Amino acid sequence: MDSEILRDTSPSEAGAMPALTQVPTSVTLSAEQFEKLYLSPMMHRQPAMAKNLGNPTPLGIGAFVLTATPLACCLMAWRGAGGGGAAFSGVSILFGGLLLVLSSILEFVLGNTFSSVVFGHLGAFCLAFGATMTPAFNSAAAYSPDGTNTLAGLHSPGFVNTFAFFFLFMALLMLIYCICATRTNLVYVLIFASLIFVFSLLAAAYWKLGAEDEVMGNRLTVGGGAALFVATMLGFYLLTAQLLDSVGFPFSLPIGDLSGLWDRRRKQDDSDV
């Protein structure tokens, strides 16, 4: 543990002042603690900058859950919500997208490749999704009969059949993340497993809606919203576990550590730490 010694003061100068103490300025984390807080495997040793800078991981997790949870409620049509999430265009861009991309940059500065890539891709998805729903980008209006109506374009067969491919390959990306997350913890794995279902069901829903099968399309959309709701609840749990550890709470929430599952260089890493 690095520490900083307070200014030395002799008894004659300080009178009855208490004895000098050392104030800790940075803490070296174990591999398990690092992977829990940063959601990224510690390949060799804790990065030097991580000892002095704050942890941006809870910022990214919080941006994800606070953007995705209302969207999940919308997809499940709670309280009459609907519109495919068009009401959250500003939230997706200015809240989720902005904070996730910022978290990705900060993770990159700290050298956490996996977290940086995950937050970067999810942030870009939020930006792209919000931009698609924004009339100024004219992405959906081109599919409407008159070429100017964004709302009509969002529900046209041409648009939903095309946009479904984006969901499909996002599901493939989540599968890759799910495999990589088995080096971190169980909660993280379950989040990505849920997101695989989210994007797969949404892709199927869009294709069904494009085929004018609204009943099955709406059911698949509700299923995608339910899977997204599960992912966000797991995200809230993971966020709580990280924040409790960050403030030194007297107890911590279990997250199912999997850091030793693929123990490629663990013995060497622990000796380096």
Q: What is the pLDDT of residue 170?
A: 95
Domain ranges, ordered by start, for the chain: 54-249
Query: Closest by alpha carbon to 1, among 23, 33, 26, 36?
Result: 26
Read off the tokens for 200: 């797969």
User: 53 pLDDT exceeds 80?
Assistant: no
* DSSP string over 128-180: HHHHHT-GGG-TTGGGSTTS--HHHHHTSHHHHHHHHHHHHHHHHHHHHHHHH
Q: For residues 227 and 167, is the Cβ–Cβ distance under 8 A?
A: no
User: 75 pLDDT exceeds 60?
Assistant: yes
117-148 confidence digits (pLDDT tens): 999 999 999 999 988 888 778 788 888 887 77
Q: For residues 265 and 91, is the Cβ–Cβ distance under 8 A?
A: no
Biggest CA-to-CA distance, the chain: 89
Q: For residues 165 and 199, is the Cβ–Cβ distance under 8 A?
A: no
User: 5 pLDDT exceeds 50?
Assistant: no
Q: What is the pLDDT of residue 12?
A: 47
Give the bridge partners for 22, in sequence order: 5
8-30 confidence digits (pLDDT tens): 544 444 455 556 555 454 555 55
Q: What is the pLDDT of residue 112?
A: 85
Question: Which of the 8 DSSP states describes residue 22?
Answer: E
Range in 39-43, 85-89, 132-136, 166-170 with the lowest mean pLDDT: 39-43
Q: What is the pLDDT of residue 104?
A: 93
Q: Rounded to two decimals, what is the model's pTM?
A: 0.77
Q: For residues 87 and 74, is the Cβ–Cβ distance under 8 A?
A: yes
Mean of the pLDDT values across residues 177-199?
92
* DSSP string over 26-75: --PPPHHHHHHHHSS--SSS--GGGGTS---HHHHHHHHHHHHHHHHHHH
Alpha-carbon distance of 179 to 188, in angstroms, equals: 10
